[in-house]
C-alpha cells in the first residue's frame, strides 16, 4: 500500500519506527521499495555519491528532477521525498514554491525536503499552504558546509542545543510533517523527538528518533571516499561489485565468457553459404 504523510503520523502515534533510505535511480528504487522501506529520499547527496562532487552545492533542480522521476518510476509504495537543491528556495518564498512545485510535477515527488530552521519557515509555510508536504532538515545541513567550516556534529553547546530545539519547534509550527536531524548528539535528538508532535528522522542522531535514514551507498559499503562514524555497513556490496568486475575481465580475456549458453544459434547451412 502507498505510504503517505498519514503513515508517518500514525507511526509516531503508535510508537513505530519509520524507515527511509536514499535512492537516485529506477533499479535501486525498485529494490528499496520491494524491501518495504517506508520512504525513499532522493537526496542532494547525489552530488557526492552519483556525480562525484565534493559537496552538494553544485546540484541543480534539473539533477533532482531527472533522478526523482527515475525513482518515482521504480517505487510503488514508498513515500518519495525529493531534496530542494542549494539556492532553489533560500533566496525567496516565490522561488521556494515554484521549485517545490516543479519537484512535484516533473520529479513526481510526494513531498520535498529543505534545510534550515526559523530562517526558512516562511518558505515551509508557503510550500505547505500550496498543498505540498515538507520535510525539514536540521543539525548538520550540508548545503551550509561553507558556513559551518566542515562536516561537524551540531548542537553540542547549551546555546546551540537550545537553538536546535527552537528551530525544530519552529519548522513544526510552520507546517513540516517531519524533520531530519543530522549529526546531533543522541540525547538532544531524543529530547527533540519527545517535544515534537511531528516525526523526527535521524542520521547520526542516535536511536531515540522516530525513524532513521541512511545514504544507500554508505550502508551497502559502496562509497568509501569517507565513511562517517554514524554509518553501519549492512553489506560490503562494493567488494562484491569489484570482484565481479574483475571476474568479468578475466573471463573475457581467457575467452570463457561468453559461453555457448550466452550465444545465439544459426543453422550451419546459412553460414556455409557465406563462405
Ligand atoms: O541528501 C541526503 O541524502 C540527505 C540525507 C543525508 C538525510 O539529506
pLDDT tens, position by position, 12-58: 999 999 999 999 999 999 999 999 999 999 999 999 999 999 999 99
Look at residue 225 and tell me whether its pLDDT is greater than 90. no
- Calculate the CA 85 to chain-centre distance: 12
Is 182 among the catalytic positions? yes
CA distance 182 to 128: 22
CA distance 4 to 78: 8
| Residues written for the chain | 275
- Give nearest CA residue, ligand 1 atom 8: 43
Mean of the per-residue pLDDT values of the chain: 97
Percentage of the chain lying above the pLDDT 70 cut:
100
Q: Which three cell numbers mark 257?
A: 565468457
The SS3 assignment for 203 reads strand
CA distance 143 to 138: 11
Task: Please report the pLDDT score of residue 198 as a whole number.
Answer: 98
Indicate whether residue 83 lines ligand 1 (CB < 6 A).
yes
Query: Which of 34, 106, 173, 182 is the catalytic position?
Result: 182
Contact assessment for residue 130 and residue 118, using Cβ atoms and an 8 Å cutoff: no
Contact assessment for residue 116 and residue 137, using Cβ atoms and an 8 Å cutoff: yes
Q: What is the mean pLDDT of residues 253-267?
A: 98
Task: Please report the pLDDT score of residue 34 as a whole number.
Answer: 98
The residues spanned by each domain of the chain are: 5-235, 241-272
Q: What is the mean pLDDT of residues 209-219?
A: 98
Which atom of ligand 1 is closest in space to residue 41's alpha carbon?
3
* Secondary element (H or E) of residue 115: strand 111-115
Q: Which three cell numbers mark 27?
A: 533499479
Look at residue 226 and tell me whether its pLDDT is greater than 90. no
Q: How far away, in angstroms, is 272 Cα from ligand 1 center?
A: 60
Regarding the domain delimited by 5-235, which CATH topology (the fold level of the hierarchy) does it fall under? TIM Barrel (3.20.20)
Amino acid at each position: 500500500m502507498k505510504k503517505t504523510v498519514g503513515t508517518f503520523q500514525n507511526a509516531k502515534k503508535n510508537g513505530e519506527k519509520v524507515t527511509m533510505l536514499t535512492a537516485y535511480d529506477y533499479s535501486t528504487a525498485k529494490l528499496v521499495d520491494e524491501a518495504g522501506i517506508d520512504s525513499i529520499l532522493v537526496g542532494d547527496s547525489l552530488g557526492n555519491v552519483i556525480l562525484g562532487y565534493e559537496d552538494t552545492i553544485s546540484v541543480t533542480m534539473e539533477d533532482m528532477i531527472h533522478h526523482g522521476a527515475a525513482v518515482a518510476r521504480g517505487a510503488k509504495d514508498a513515500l518519495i521525498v525529493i531534496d530542494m537543491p542549494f539556492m532553489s528556495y533560500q533566496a525567496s518564498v516565490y522561488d521556494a514554491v515554484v521549485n517545490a512545485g516543479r519537484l512535484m510535477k516533473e520529479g513526481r515527488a510526494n513531498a520535498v525536503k529543505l534545510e534550515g530552521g526559523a530562517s526558512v519557515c516562511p518558505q515551509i509555510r508557503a510550500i505547505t499552504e500550496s498543498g505540498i508536504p515538507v520535510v525539514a532538515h536540521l543539525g548538520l545541513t550540508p548545503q551550509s558546509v561553507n558556513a559551518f567550516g566542515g562536516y561537524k556534529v551540531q548542537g553540542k553547546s547549551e546555546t546551540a542545543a537550545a537553538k536546535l530545539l527552537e528551530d525544530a519547534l519552529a519548522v513544526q509550527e510552520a507546517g513540516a510533517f517531519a524533520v531530519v536531524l543530522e549529526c546531533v548528539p543522541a540525547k538532544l535528538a531524543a529530547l527533540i523527538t519527545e517535544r515534537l508532535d511531528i516525526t523526527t528522522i535521524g542520521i547520526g542522531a542516535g536511536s531515540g528518533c522516530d525513524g532513521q535514514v541512511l545514504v544507500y551507498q554508505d550502508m551497502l559499503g559502496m562509497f568509501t571516499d569517507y565513511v562517517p562514524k554514524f554509518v553501519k555497513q549492512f553489506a560490503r556490496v562494493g567488494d562484491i561489485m569489484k570482484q565481479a568486475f574483475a571476474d568479468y575481465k578475466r573471463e573475457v580475456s581467457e575467452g570463457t565468457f561468453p559461453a555457448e549458453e550466452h550465444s545465439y544459434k544459426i543453422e550451419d547451412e546459412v553460414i556455409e553459404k557465406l563462405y
